[in-house]
Amino acid sequence: MTKYLSILAAVAIISCNSASNNQPAQQTDTAAASGIPVPKNITVNIIGMYPHDTSAFTEGLQFHDGKLYEGTGDYQASALQVEDIKTGKVEQKHTMGTANIFGEGIQVFKGKIYQLTWTNHFVNVYDENNIDKPIKTLQWPNEGWGMTNNGTDLIISDGTSNLYFVNPDDFKIISTLQVVDNLGPVDQINELEYIDGYVYANVWQTDYIIKIDPANGHIVGKISLPDLIHQYAPAQYIEGRTDVLNGIAWDSTTQKMYITGKRWPKIFEVTLNN
């Protein structure tokens, strides 16, 4: 994944402004020769937009205890940061990038924060209450892309069609799951979020978020968000710098999803129409 191919001025709530306006026609729930049904279209309602740090090349995003945790990439600028979701203010930041280190997905899990690296094959582990420096590092044999958890295991993507279920203590792979739809394996699986028993994932360099059944790897749904940043923040879009959709965070208390992208000026608060 060459990463360079590449919401206070609080805004009024855009209630009932559904991103479905740009959705393709509803697909029929038919199965291809594979026997896997075509993924169902999932629409969203955009109910709010907030500022987002435009220096953040978003690789990992998670809502935890009322704060937004973000892992960013880009050599030199890679960081782990904690933000106020409504104002976009970065309240804590640990820079970990160098000319050779590119940060990737993150996950807050059982009192620790895990941060992948892209091709460096190590994982920084921080105490949840202190991100000033890692408390240890762990080894990861593949590229690091996205990360989430199912309450027991960490779930990691590496840019292929695989999801890896991993022991958080030693990063040993417990099992591997291939992500497939009715047409076959789907690769470029990137940033991840575990929501109500399903894994949601950005597909790198697309405007899609897919919904994956972790029982079998089948893609059961797809959220299409074409030209989202162009539509809602055209004046803040910078050609060659504002990059692709990437970043999914879930607030289980309010049942809201937050979506952003790499160096996007906005983060979108949405509800799902499953």
pLDDT of 31 reads 52
- For 91-144, the pLDDT digits (tens) are 999 999 999 999 999 999 999 999 999 999 999 999 999 999 999 999 999 999
Beta strand pairing call for 256-261 and 90-95: unpaired
State which CATH number among 3.40.640.10, 2.40.10.10, 2.40.128.630, 2.40.160.60 fits the domain covering 17-273: 2.40.128.630
Q: How confident is the model at residue 274 (pLDDT cuts 50, 70, 90)?
A: confident
- For 172-196, the pLDDT digits (tens) are 999 999 999 999 999 999 999 999 9
Cα 118 to Cα 14: distance, rounded to the nearest angstrom: 36
- For 237-267, the pLDDT digits (tens) are 999 999 999 999 999 999 999 999 999 999 9
- DSSP assignment of 4-52, as one string? T-----PPPP-TTEEGGGGPPPPPP--B-TTSPBPPEEEEEEEEEEEE-
Q: Mean of the pLDDT values across residues 164-173?
A: 98
Q: How confident is the model at residue 270 (pLDDT cuts 50, 70, 90)?
A: very high
Query: Where exactly are the structural domains of the chain?
Result: 17-273
- Asked if residue 269 has pLDDT above 70, the reply is yes
- For 10-64, the pLDDT digits (tens) are 333 333 344 433 343 344 444 555 789 999 999 999 999 999 999 999 999 999 9
- Dihedral, 46, 48, 50, 56 alpha carbons, nearest 10: -20
pLDDT of 110 reads 97
Q: How far apart are the first and last CA of the chain?
A: 30
